[in-house]
A and B are shown apart, each in its own frame.
Chain A
């Protein structure tokens, strides 16, 4: 299975953009890139996903490198509520019930 690598922790200031990187150099052509986040004492929640093209939704943007070996989750204006662990996850289209979790990035947001 392909694996993901993320920084252990990052810090941001409130209302500033945050770029959370993820390396997945062994990604295959059929692996989808998903991001989930886990707020303290909560279960993970879906944030965004993509395959090759950049994606935007109400929560975030996902920028995928042209060679797909890395991606970046972008929070356009961090709020205190965005403090969480962000997981970069690969899903193999041939076994789409198995999430391949990274170790996650713990994001701290300063007021």
Chain B
């Protein structure tokens, strides 16, 4: 089945030690998103790639970076994780037919990576 796969499901890192989370998709979607979700909260969009174009949310800390080497893969890099960065990180994809297509922008999510910072 076509899907969005996140690895690993659980990641433990140390305070200040860089960590990379990965996401792959077999849907051939042109848009990939990274969300942060803390306990009992809705997901918060960090940034997204529209094809190769990177789109950062205004309130995303500089500590969070992303790379998309090809259509199928996208990485989330946290340069110096703090205790406040412990959260579930969700990757999602969508096939964007352009603006004005809000009805059709259905996002497909991976199962998430739960990050712990010690």
Contact = CB atoms under 8 A, between A and B. Distances in A.
B45 A99 contact: yes
A41 B111 contact: yes
Interface in A17-34: 30-32, 34
A97 B42 contact: no
Contacts of B102: 30-32, 91-94, 96
Interface in A32-86: 32, 34, 36, 41-46, 49, 51
A45 B4 CA distance: 12
Given A97-B31, A99-B45, A42 B111 contact: yes
B106 A102 contact: no
Contact of B112 (A43, A94, A97, A104): A43
A41 B103 CA distance: 27
Interface string B101-117: 11111111111100000
Given A97-B31, A97-B94, A44 B109 contact: yes
Given A49-B103, A101-B42, A42 B108 contact: no
B105 A46 contact: no
Nearest to B106: A46
Interface string B70-96: 000000000000000000001110101
B29 to A, nearest CB: 12
Contacts of B100: 93-94, 96
Interface of A: 30-32, 34, 36, 41-46, 49, 51, 87, 91-99, 101-104
23 contacts: A34-B106, A41-B111, A41-B112, A43-B4, A43-B91, A43-B109, A43-B110, A43-B111, A46-B106, A51-B103, A93-B99, A93-B100, A93-B101, A93-B102, A94-B100, A95-B99, A96-B99, A96-B104, A97-B33, A97-B55, A97-B94, A98-B45, A103-B41
